[in-house]
Amino acid sequence: MVKMMMMAMVVGVAMGNIVDKTCKQTPDYTLCLSLLRSDPRSSSADTVGLALILVDKIKALGTETLGQINDAYKTKPMLKKPLDECSLRYKTIVDVDVHTAIIAVKGNPKFAEGAVVDAGVEASICEGGFTKGQSTLTSLTQRMEKICDVTRAIIRMLL
């Protein structure tokens, strides 16, 4: 029993080292660590698994942003046009980019990288559609761009 617990601790430390070592190779070590350590799957994941966890984070943030866009239609009706554009962009992230990345990470990571880059670009285009200072989505958009940068770095490790 004690031997099994020791083995579990050693494996846990080794897996934690994989997360740490992987995150050191990304543009935002702290963000990477917080994203991966907040997901219990990271304790037993390989690099492909870590990339998939981050793709899930992109999907979750995209879905959250779509919710914020729907709320903004009610509170900021004068921003309908840029909100429509953002809705389209974030639907593309959630429905197309995430789906492509999930499939491609396991097959051809180059396509996964392209999908994640596109997700970041879609978020930037959304933000750019607002007159300066009018966007209610700025913090979500910036977070999406940063998560995409970290995810791309990890996917590049698979190439």
- pLDDT tens for 80-96 read 999 999 999 999 999 99
- Residue at 147 is within a domain: yes
Tokens 């009706």 belong to residue: 77
The reported pLDDT for the residue numbered 62 is: 98
For residue 1, the model assigns a pLDDT of: 56
Q: In this predicted model, which residue has the larger pLDDT, 101 or 11?
A: 101
Distances (CA, A) of 108 to 101, 111, 140: 9, 6, 29
Residue 93 lies in a domain: yes
**Domain annotation covers residue 131:** yes
In a domain, 9, yes or no: no
Return the closest-CA partner of residue 89 out of 110, 69, 75.
69
User: Cα(43)–Cα(74) distance, rounded to whole angstroms?
Assistant: 41
pLDDT at position 6 over 50 = no
Per the domain annotation, does 104 fall within a domain? yes
Q: Which of 73, 70, 71, 69 is nearest to 144 (CA)?
A: 69
Q: Taking Cα atoms as reference points, which of 39, 46, 38 lies closest to residue 17? A: 46
Measured CA to CA, the distance from residue 32 to residue 22 in angstroms comes to 9
* Averaged pLDDT of the chain: 92
Residue 71: give its domain's CATH number. 1.20.140.40
Contacts of 141 (CB under 8 A, 6+ apart): 65, 123, 124, 126, 127, 135
Share of residues in the chain with pLDDT > 90 (%): 88
Smallest CA-to-CA distance from 146 within 27, 64, 63 is with: 27
Domain that holds residue 63: 45-156
Does 60 map to a domain?
yes
pLDDT of the residue at 5 = 41
Beta strands in 4-90 (DSSP E): none
Domain count along the chain: 1
Q: Is residue 19 part of a domain?
A: no
4 assigned to some structural domain: no
Q: What is the pLDDT of residues 24-66, one digit of tens each?
A: 999 999 999 999 999 999 999 999 999 999 999 999 999 999 9
Task: Note whether 94 and 63 are within 8 A (CB).
Answer: yes
